[in-house]
């Protein structure tokens, strides 16, 4: 029997990343996934929508409202809660009453098209008040709580069904420990923000490997309410080379009863979120067992249907291996780790001592090459285009390693320098970003050094 969550428990997707927002057709496709996986919420807050953040004071022109109104209607028909977010924190003057009137005007326009749930975000902003604001409030938390409370009261006067969510300036424990927002930020917020207003929290880190029950219980006490988890586990806007198709993990099942909701801020590329969304839905419906690996493999079997090609079919095991190389921020999947262990193992030895592991790797490299070719033949071109850069990068690195191993395995070549005619210096791994990355090296403990 699936877990029973309260009717007002928020579960679903945050479109809240930096980068190109999703297309209207992708958002409508998303609704089908939300319904299929038992999720109930869509949150609109892409950082690069100018009227979400930079131009938050400007209402939408009538022609701009057409797609939004249509999508809200579609959400209502599918029983999906639509949350609209505004992020005024970059330049709001908290002590200027006109600013609050602007927020009300923005919400009034959106109430008219059926939006009833809103979020006000103060993340990724300066954490110091202006001189005029300092004359009225002792801290950013107090100023932000005042604006949110006033907005919430106004929303309540217009619809009893309203709900308001709030993103704090320090939205993870690391930010709090660094002093972001000033002393006692969370405690002030918890004391002064109206109890019905939900507060977002990402966990110990911005991208949290684990979110424990003890951690959330501590946050509950400081905020005086359970938070809504803004989960960045599958977010990739901070590193466009990567994407994450591993399972929802690192969160105990008991967490569901300690929070007011769990919303995933996933990969920027919409087609890459099949497994993150499916496994989040399965996690929320699980009973007393959550087998992350088994859920991942089941999700891969379902996702495999999207990988139809114009030529030879893509083998499911090969797709799993590819997914294991793009698993989660802090870990590879089993096959990704196995590949690294294999290569690192024999490369740590002198080429004259290499054994059967070399033949195993070269055989695998041929299998990878076949897989990469078949991926270029996907009929689902949008999916292929979302994957193509990652396919190419992994292909180039495996091919380079294979050429290196083949060269070093030849008699007399063990101690000779290797160059690849297919990976020319300053083109392969070229550019200033690679040069900058090579200045500071990551150590095994995660620290950086020259």
Would the pLDDT of 82 be above 50?
A: yes
Give the whole-angstrom CA distance, residue 329 versus residue 234: 8
C-alpha distances out from residue 312 to 305, 361, 376, 377, 382, Å: 14, 23, 11, 9, 19
For residues 82-93, average pLDDT = 97
Residue 125 has pLDDT above 80, yes or no: yes
The SS3 call for residue 93 is coil
Task: Determine which one of 29, 49, 124, 337 is catalytic.
Answer: 124
Q: Give backbone dihedrals phi and psi of 329, rounded to 5 degrees, phi first.
A: -55, -35
- Judge whether 95 and 126 are in contact, CB under 8 Å: no
**Interstrand relation of 117-121 and 448-449 (parallel, antiparallel or unpaired):** unpaired
Q: What's the whole-model pTM score? A: 0.95
Residue 259 has pLDDT above 60, yes or no: yes
Q: How far apart are the first and last CA of the chain?
A: 54
Residue 296, classified by CB atoms within 10 Å of its CB into exposed (0-12), middle (13-18) or buried (19+), is buried
Whole-angstrom Cα distance, residue 432 to residue 419?
21
In this predicted structure, the answer to whether residue 1 has a pLDDT above a threshold of 60 is no
Q: Give the helix/strand (H/E) hosting 185.
A: helix 185-192
CATH assignment, 10-290: 3.20.20.80
CA distance 174 to 7: 32
Active-site residue 315, yes or no?
Answer: no
pLDDT tens-digit readout, 219-233: 999 999 999 999 999
SS3 50: coil
pLDDT reported for residue 3: 62
- pLDDT digits over 328-344, tens only? 999 999 999 999 999 99
What lies within 8 Å, CB to CB, of 218 at 6+ separation is none
203: its two tokens = 């966990």
What is the H or E stretch that residue 83 is in? strand 81-86
Q: DSSP of 277-332, one letter per residue?
A: HHHHHHHHH--S---HHHHHHHHHHHHGGG--BSSSPPPHHHHHHHHHTS-BTTB-
pLDDT at 382 over 90: yes
How many Å apart are CA 96 and CA 33, to the nearest integer?
43
Domain boundaries, the chain: 10-290, 316-442
Q: Which CATH superfamily is domain 316-442 in?
A: STAT; domain 1 (1.20.58.240)
Share of the chain above pLDDT 90, in %: 92
Res. 208: pLDDT tops 70 = yes
Mean pLDDT rounded to a whole number for the chain: 96
If you average pLDDT over residues 148-175, what whole number do you get? Answer: 97
């Amino acid at each position: 029997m699936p877990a029973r969550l309260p009717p007002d428990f928020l579960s679903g997707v945050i479109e809240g990343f930096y980068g190109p927002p999703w297309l209207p057709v992708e958002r409508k496709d998303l609704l089908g996934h939300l319904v299929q996986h038992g999720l109930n919420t869509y949150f609109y807050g892409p950082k690069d929508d100018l009227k979400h953040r930079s131009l938050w004071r400007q209402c939408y022109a009538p022609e701009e409202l057409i797609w939004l109104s249509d999508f809200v209607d579609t959400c209502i028909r599918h029983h999906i809660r639509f949350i609209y977010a505004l992020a005024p924190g970059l330049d709001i003057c908290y002590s200027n009453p006109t600013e609050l009137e602007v927020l009300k005007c923005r919400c009034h326009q959106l109430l008219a098209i059926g939006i009833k749930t809103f979020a006000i975000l103060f993340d990724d902003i300066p954490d110091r008040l202006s001189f005029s604001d300092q004359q009225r409030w002792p801290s950013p938390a107090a100023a932000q709580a005042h604006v949110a409370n006033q907005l919430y009261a106004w929303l309540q006067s217009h619809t009893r069904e309203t709900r308001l969510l709030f993103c704090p300036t320090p939205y993870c424990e690391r930010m709090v420990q660094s002093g972001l927002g000033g002393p006692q930020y969370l405690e002030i917020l918890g004391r002064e923000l109206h109890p019905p207003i939900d507060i977002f929290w990402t966990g110990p880190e911005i991208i949290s490997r684990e979110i424990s029950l003890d951690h959330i219980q501590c946050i509950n006490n400081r905020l005086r309410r359970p938070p809504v988890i803004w989960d960045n586990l599958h977010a990739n806007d901070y590193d466009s080379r990567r994407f994450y198709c591993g399972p929802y993990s690192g969160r105990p099942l008991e967490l569901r009863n300690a929070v007011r909701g769990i919303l995933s801020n996933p990969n920027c590329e919409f087609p890459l979120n099949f497994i993150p969304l499916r496994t989040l839905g399965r996690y929320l419906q699980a009973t007393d067992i959550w087998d992350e690996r088994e859920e991942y493999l089941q999700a891969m079997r379902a996702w495999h249907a999207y990988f139809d090609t114009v030529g030879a079919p893509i083998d499911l095991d090969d797709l799993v291996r590819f997914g294991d190389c793009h698993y989660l921020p802090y870990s590879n999947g089993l096959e990704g780790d196995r590949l690294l262990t294999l290569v690192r193992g024999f490369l740590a030895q002198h080429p004259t001592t290499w054994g059967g592991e070399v033949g195993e790797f070269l055989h695998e490299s041929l299998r990878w090459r076949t897989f990469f070719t078949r991926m270029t033949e996907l009929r689902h071109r949008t999916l292929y285009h979302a994957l193509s850069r990652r396919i190419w990068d992994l292909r180039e690195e495996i091919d380079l390693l294979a050429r290196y191993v083949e060269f070093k395995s030849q008699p007399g070549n063990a101690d000779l320098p290797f160059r690849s005619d297919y990976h020319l210096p300053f083109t392969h791994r070229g550019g200033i970003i690679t040069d900058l990355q090579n200045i500071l090296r990551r150590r095994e403990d995660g620290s950086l050094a020259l």
